[in-house]
Amino acid sequence: AQSVTQPDIHITVSEGASLELRCNYSYGATPYLFWYVQSPGQGLQLLLKYFSGDTLVQGIKGFEAEFKRSQSSFNLRKPSVHWSDAAEYFCAVGWSSGAQKLVFGQGTRLTINP
């Protein structure tokens, strides 16, 4: 079965530090890749997406992600985090050979130390 893995359940970083959240997906047909963010009590908001083309994609709030086909990865990065980035982050993948649905990772909870 197609799957998405976010190895880190919880990450804590200091404000101003760099951030990388990992996402790996099971091999399959061409993937469509997304990162969503969820603040407490809120729905999920799209940060960025990759469909094709340049493997480094820019998103909102200063986030970027890089698609590495050889590693089946789509890691999320930010050079300098802000206290407002504290939230839960979800990686999601759809496959061209599959139906319209997305498979979500379990999420990574990000805590920011002042």
Partner 1 sequence: DAGVIQSPRHEVTEMGQEVTLRCKPISGHNSLFWYRQTMMRGLELLIYFNNNVPIDDSGMPEDRFSAKMPNASFSTLKIQPSEPRDSAVYFCASSFTSGGSRNEQFFGPGTRLTVL
Q: What residues make contact with partner 1 under the rule CB under 8 A?
A: 32, 34, 36, 42-46, 49, 51, 90, 94, 96, 99-107
Q: Nearest approach, Cβ of 114 to partner 1 (angstroms)?
A: 26
Minimum CB separation of residue 15 from partner 1 in Å reads: 27
Structure tokens that stand for 50 in this block: 């990759």
In three-state secondary structure terms, 69 is: helix
Least Cβ distance, residue 40 to partner 1 (angstroms): 11
Rank residues 18 and 58 by Cβ distance to partner 1 and give the closer one. 58
SS3 60: helix
Nearer to partner 1, 54 or 114 (CB): 54
Q: Measured from the CB of residue 80, what is the shortest distance to partner 1 in angstroms? A: 26
Residue 96 CA: distances (Å) to CA of 37, 54, 87, 93: 23, 18, 29, 10
Residue 93: closest CA among 73, 66, 63, 68: 73
